[in-house]
């Protein structure tokens, strides 16, 4: 079952169990997916759906920081719940140690040794961790290695 099918099934299940919050969150994600499918005039594959899910989580995390600064606990709690729901559809996230190992391997493969070569390193690194690690975390780890 691909991700789009899984989202549809979970949406139906949320309707049956009358879980309005989960239902609305899944509908928001499906709406984003559907809009892109309409724009591209084709169905999305799992990698493209993963990109959308990652982007949705990133948007919510960014908004979460702003709401925390403003002291809006009501909105913080709902965003955290939305992030949890969306994260269920992402592959298991890599630990910081696993990311460090992948970064070291990629540095050896590319021969990058300075921050000037960071773009080359990131372009070959990101496909390896796509959907399984936060880009900010990966960037921070790369910067630790390329000092």
Which CATH class name applies to 3-87? mainly alpha
Cα gap 44→36, rounded to integer Å? 8
Sequential DSSP letters for 119-141: HHHHHHHHHHHTTTS-HHHHHHH
CB atoms under 10 Å from CB of 121, counted, come to 22
**DSSP E strand stretches across 34-141:** none
Domain residue limits, the chain: 3-87, 96-145
Please tell me the predicted confidence (pLDDT) of residue 63. Answer: 93
The residues of the chain scoring below 70 in pLDDT are none
Please tell me the predicted confidence (pLDDT) of residue 119. Answer: 83
Q: Which residue has the tokens 């691909």?
A: 2
Please tell me the predicted confidence (pLDDT) of residue 66. Answer: 92
Please tell me the predicted confidence (pLDDT) of residue 36. Answer: 93
pTM strictly above 0.85: no
User: What token pair was written down for 111?
Assistant: 């021969």
Q: What is the CATH number of domain 96-145?
A: 1.10.10.410
> 96-145: same fold as 3-87?
no
Please tell me the predicted confidence (pLDDT) of residue 142. Answer: 87
């Amino acid at each position: 079952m691909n991700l789009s099918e899984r989202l549809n099934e979970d949406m139906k299940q949320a309707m049956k169990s009358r879980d309005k919050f989960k239902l609305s969150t899944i509908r928001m994600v499906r709406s984003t997916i559907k809009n892109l499918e309409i724009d591209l005039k084709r169905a999305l594959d799992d990698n493209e759906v993963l990109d959308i899910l990652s982007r949705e989580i990133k948007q919510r995390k960014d908004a979460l920081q702003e709401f925390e600064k403003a002291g809006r606990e009501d909105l913080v709690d709902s965003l955290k719940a939305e992030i949890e729901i969306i994260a269920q559809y992402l592959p298991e996230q890599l630990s910081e140690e696993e990311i460090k190992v992948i970064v070291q391997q990629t540095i050896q493969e590319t021969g990058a040794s300075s921050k000037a070569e960071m773009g080359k390193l990131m372009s070959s690194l990101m496909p390896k961790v796509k959907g399984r690690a936060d880009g900010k975390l990966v960037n921070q780890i790369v910067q630790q290695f390329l000092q």
